[in-house]
């Protein structure tokens, strides 16, 4: 899914014809990629997928905490490295009361640790929605709309100004770069620090 729709873009920009619908759809994809690359995050997951983790390298806190490599919005199931299913009553998420999750900690009274049978690599499997959330936050939707509008206008040359005097000319692009500074600033609080 996309963070916005062609209909929302056209409404925002006051476009009433369908001539550029395919282009706008392409720009939505490009804007979403820019946002994800800048923040190191995916902001929605419409379906479950599986990620695997090392039972040694990804584990801390005396074998109880599993560090995740991506944001996790929803946990569907967890299979420990020995093949047993980890019940939802046996763990807590980090953070506890909000998403995205960055770790899963086995409860002290659960009487289990993260483990493996033959090899620790890719031993633990988590099925869930691997993203910041299941649907993009409203401000991410708004930022995507504005970034698409920026990319569309830049394509049409809006923001380019030229100055000519004898023997000299210069061109300024007020919309230089693929992402305006105010959008980058709004995205800064979403930026994920890689470890």
Count of alpha carbons within 13 angstroms of residue 104, beta-carbon side? 31
Q: Are 39 and 139 spatial neighbours (Cβ–Cβ below 8 Å)?
A: no
| All residues at 6 or more sequence positions from 158 whose CB lies less than 8 Å from its CB, including other chains | 175
**Consecutive H or E run containing 12:** helix 6-13
| All residues at 6 or more sequence positions from 18 whose CB lies less than 8 Å from its CB, including other chains | none
Where along the chain do its domains lie? 6-42+135-190, 49-129
Q: Kindly report, residue by residue over 32-59, the tens digit of the pLDDT.
A: 999 999 999 999 999 999 999 999 999 9
How far is Cα 93 from Cα 155, in angstroms, rounded to an integer? 44
Q: Kindly report, residue by residue over 57-80, the tens digit of the pLDDT.
A: 999 999 999 999 999 999 999 999
């Amino acid at each position: 899914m996309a963070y916005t729709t062609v209909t929302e873009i056209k409404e925002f920009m006051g476009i009433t014809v369908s001539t550029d619908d395919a282009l706008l759809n392409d720009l939505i994809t490009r804007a979403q990629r820019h946002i994800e690359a800048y923040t190191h995050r995916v902001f929605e997951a419409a379906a479950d997928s599986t990620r695997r983790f090392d039972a040694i390298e990804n584990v801390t806190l005396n074998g109880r905490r599993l560090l995740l490599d991506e944001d996790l919005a929803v946990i569907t199931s967890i299979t420990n490295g020995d093949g047993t299913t980890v019940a939802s009553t046996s763990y807590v998420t980090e953070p506890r009361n909000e998403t995205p999750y960055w770790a899963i900690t086995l409860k002290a009274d659960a009487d289990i640790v993260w483990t493996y049978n033959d090899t620790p690599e890719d031993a633990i499997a988590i099925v869930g929605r691997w993203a910041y959330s299941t649907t993009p936050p409203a401000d991410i939707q708004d930022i995507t709309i504005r970034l698409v509008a920026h990319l569309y206008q830049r394509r049409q040359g809006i923001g380019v100004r030229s100055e000519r005097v004898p023997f000299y000319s210069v061109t300024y692009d007020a919309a230089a770069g693929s992402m305006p500074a105010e959008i980058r600033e709004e995205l800064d609080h979403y930026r994920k620090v890689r470890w």
